[in-house]
Amino acid sequence: MATHAAAHHDDHHDDKPHGFLNRWVFSTNHKDIGTLYLIFSFTMACIGAAFSGVIRTELMKPGLQFVQPYFFNQMTTLHALVMIFGAIMPGFVGLANWMIPLQVGAPDMALPRMNNWSFWILPFAFLLLLSTLFMPGGGPAGGWTMYPPLAIQGGNSVAFMVFAVHLMGISSIMGAINIIATILNMRAPGMDLLKMPLFTWSWLITAFLLIAVMPVLAGAVTMLLTDKYFGTSFFNAAGGGDPVMFQHIFWFFGHPEVYIMILPAFGIISEIIPTFSRKPLFGYQAMVYAIASIAFLSFIVWGHHMFTVGMPLGGELFFMYSTMLIAVPTGVKVFNWVSTMWGGSLSFETPMLWAIAFVILFTIGGFSGLMLALVPADFQYQDTYFVVAHFHYVLVTGALFSIIAAIYYWWPKWTGRMYNETWAKVHFWWSIVFVNVLFFPQHFLGLAGMPRRIPDYNVAFSDWNFISTIGAYGMFLTPFMMFFILWHSLKHGAQAKAQAWEGAHGLEWTVPSPAPFHTFATPPVIHDEDLAHGDVTH
């Protein structure tokens, strides 16, 4: 019997993936697939940053220096598509793959083979998209919003772009189904929904958003495709169509999409701040309801992207008020993060620095968003660099910074090694300085009237553009700094302790007696009966 058991054990042992192909290409392991997503996301971020480097280099001085206007527009279009669908979203999905099974106590994702497939679609989607740069007529140049009639001018890149977008959408929907199935069906016993870590909650809500809006994008781009190649007139005014209808369909997808890129960030920040404040998150349930409220409201505000298309006054008022309403649950979240830190036993390791930077800089993006929500003001800001500054504060210092924070936070858990804290802090401060040098001047450019998506401009805008481009060059170095820090950690990093963030720098953090908190990597669940017995003190 023992021999049989041993033989069986050996057979089982042979099931482990042997060789590179089995481990990575055919992987069904949530951690390996999470790693693949993160590597892909990093690669795409570097490509997207290179495109933005072309944009900022051309804009360093007035006049046409380096590229033709059509190529400039290809760069703005591809920069956005690559960063949104190639860097930010796969980055969050990679974190979800890594952490959700660990956080809910599941052995793996619910649908491991589909998990593999949803990743491997992405490299091919982006090969298709980027290959358009080498085709006659060049890549798509209608902006990431793909507005007709501009988007369907030029060569056959439209067909490739549409097919690539379909593939990205299929990947996202499959990933979302997998996340929902995992969270709803595979939680460990006792892990009620309202005991889940906030990162898991944020992804559960985000996954429903993805499933709801990705088919809408698919519909919009398919109609675009038939307009170009099959003689339909969905958006062609000459055939009785309406180009503004495309904007309605696109932004009905596009606005929830913006929240798909920020809700997981809220979850990440809600994990990091309690850890380095040494106390549980303030208002856990309020945070869950705030995320759900933001997700719901994101479906009814799409028109604020279209205040200048000539919609009726009643429509403008509705979209203005509903947009301002989103500031309420968002404000609740910022208040709760600050309240978590208030009176906490704070320490400022690298993940905490990124999290605090997120709270401050994301809030700047929130305030400029509130300005854009005001209809009369938006008539002035529309399609200027003020809008560019706004969404980069939300998506760079918001979404991207949270992904970086999460990698620094969970790295010891993933690899068992610590990174060089000094160099990680250099990376942080370098990024903070240059991201603001890059994007803050764009507020001034926009308020002064500089339009977006143009390669040439009035000399009046030249000073701030020059400064902005210096910031871009500084930011371009940051992914390579991070790569070096993490690579060095893998090769030479110190062994991580079982609780990596406990007693950072040799300091022991405890809350005064009678009931000390022991430090935790994720906030402990506090039960009502504990409170009744006085077992928990703040």
| Residue count of the chain | 538
Report, as an integer, the average pLDDT of 19-31. Answer: 94
Q: If you search the block for the tokens 């028109």, which residue do you land on? A: 303
pLDDT for 19 equals: 86
- 536 burial (CB, 10 Å; 0-12 / 13-18 / 19+) is middle
More confident residue, 154 or 325: 325
Predicted confidence (pLDDT) per residue in 402-421, tens digit: 999 999 999 999 999 999 99
Known active-site residue 16: no
Measured CA angle at 443 (ends 440, 449), to 5 deg: 150
Q: How far is CA 92 from CA 35, 51, 98, 261, 430, in A?
A: 11, 22, 10, 8, 23
Known active-site residue 257: yes
Among candidate residues 56, 279, 304, 443, the one labeled active-site is: 304
SS3 at position 452: coil
d(CA 274, CA 345): 10
Q: Of the ranges 33-47, 439-453, 510-524, which one carries the lowest mean pLDDT score?
A: 510-524
pLDDT for 255 equals: 97
> Residue 136: which residues within 8 A CB-CB, separation 6 or more?
155
Predicted confidence (pLDDT) per residue in 465-474, tens digit: 999 999 999 9
Among candidate residues 98, 259, 408, 411, the one labeled active-site is: 259
Predicted confidence (pLDDT) per residue in 301-359, tens digit: 999 999 999 999 999 999 999 999 999 999 999 999 999 999 999 999 999 999 999 99
Known active-site residue 52: no
Q: How far is CA 468 from CA 72, 385, 455, 500, in A?
A: 17, 11, 14, 38
Measured CA angle at 493 (ends 491, 499), to 5 deg: 135
Compute the half-sphere exposure of residue 397: CA atoms within 13 Å on the CB side of its CA. Answer: 29
Predicted confidence (pLDDT) per residue in 202-234, tens digit: 999 999 999 999 999 999 999 999 999 999 999
Amino acid at residue number 65: Q
Among candidate residues 56, 79, 228, 443, the one labeled active-site is: 79
* pTM, rounded to two decimals: 0.91
What does the radius of gyration of the chain's CA atoms come to, in whole angstroms? 24
Neighbours of 57 (CB within 10 A): 16
Among candidate residues 27, 330, 468, 469, the one labeled active-site is: 330
Q: Is the peptide bond before 479 cis (omega within 30 degrees of 0)?
A: no
d(CA 46, CA 86): 10
Nearest-CA neighbor of 269 among 210, 201, 323, 211? Answer: 201
Q: If you search the block for the tokens 């309801």, which residue do you land on? A: 289
294: which 2 tokens? 């933001």
Known active-site residue 108: yes
d(CA 468, CA 397): 16
- Percentage of the residues of the chain whose pLDDT score is greater than 90: 87
pLDDT for 515 equals: 34
Q: If you search the block for the tokens 């809006």, which residue do you land on? A: 213
Predicted confidence (pLDDT) per residue in 375-391, tens digit: 999 999 999 999 999 99
Judge whether 194 and 285 are in contact, CB under 8 Å.
Answer: yes
d(CA 260, CA 299): 12
Among candidate residues 43, 108, 222, 339, the one labeled active-site is: 108
SS3 at position 417: strand
Q: If you search the block for the tokens 């062994």, which residue do you land on? A: 495
Among candidate residues 166, 278, 305, 392, the one labeled active-site is: 305
Among candidate residues 255, 278, 427, 443, the one labeled active-site is: 255
Known active-site residue 443: no
pLDDT at 159 over 60: yes
Known active-site residue 259: yes
Among candidate residues 32, 257, 271, 378, the one labeled active-site is: 257
Report, as an integer, the average pLDDT of 466-483. Answer: 98
The helix (run of H) or strand (run of E) holding residue 111 is: none
Give me the residues paired with residue 384 across strands.
451
SS3 at position 495: strand
Mean pLDDT of the residues in the chain: 91
pLDDT at 10 over 50: no
111: which 2 tokens? 């649908």
Known active-site residue 330: yes
pLDDT for 187 equals: 97
pLDDT for 85 equals: 98
d(CA 274, CA 404): 17
Amino acid at residue number 54: V
d(CA 80, CA 49): 10
Report, as an integer, the average pLDDT of 5-15. Answer: 45
Phi and psi torsions of 417, nearest 5°: -130, 150
Among candidate residues 166, 333, 390, 417, the one labeled active-site is: 333
Among candidate residues 37, 98, 144, 408, the one labeled active-site is: 144
pLDDT for 254 equals: 97
Among candidate residues 77, 171, 202, 397, the one labeled active-site is: 171
Report, as an integer, the average pLDDT of 284-292. Answer: 98
Confidence of residue 274 (pLDDT cuts 50, 70, 90): very high
Among candidate residues 118, 270, 363, 469, the one labeled active-site is: 270
DSSP state of 518: P
Known active-site residue 452: yes
pLDDT for 518 equals: 38
DSSP state of 18: P
Among candidate residues 27, 172, 206, 298, the one labeled active-site is: 172
Measured CA angle at 85 (ends 176, 155), to 5 deg: 130
Known active-site residue 518: no
Nearest-CA neighbor of 110 among 174, 52, 205? Answer: 174
Phi and psi torsions of 134, nearest 5°: -100, 10
pLDDT for 224 equals: 97
Report, as an integer, the average pLDDT of 15-26. Answer: 84
Confidence of residue 137 (pLDDT cuts 50, 70, 90): confident
d(CA 401, CA 390): 15
Q: How far is CA 141 from CA 69, 104, 151, 301, in A?
A: 10, 43, 6, 27
Judge whether 459 and 62 are in contact, CB under 8 Å.
Answer: yes
Q: Quickly list DSSP for 324-384.
A: HHHHHHHHHHHHHHHHHHTTS-----HHHHHHHHHHHHHHHHHHHHHHHHSHHHHHHHTTB
Predicted confidence (pLDDT) per residue in 505-536, tens digit: 333 333 333 333 333 344 444 454 444 444 44
Neighbours of 116 (CB within 10 A): 19
DSSP state of 139: S
Q: If you search the block for the tokens 């309420």, which residue do you land on? A: 328
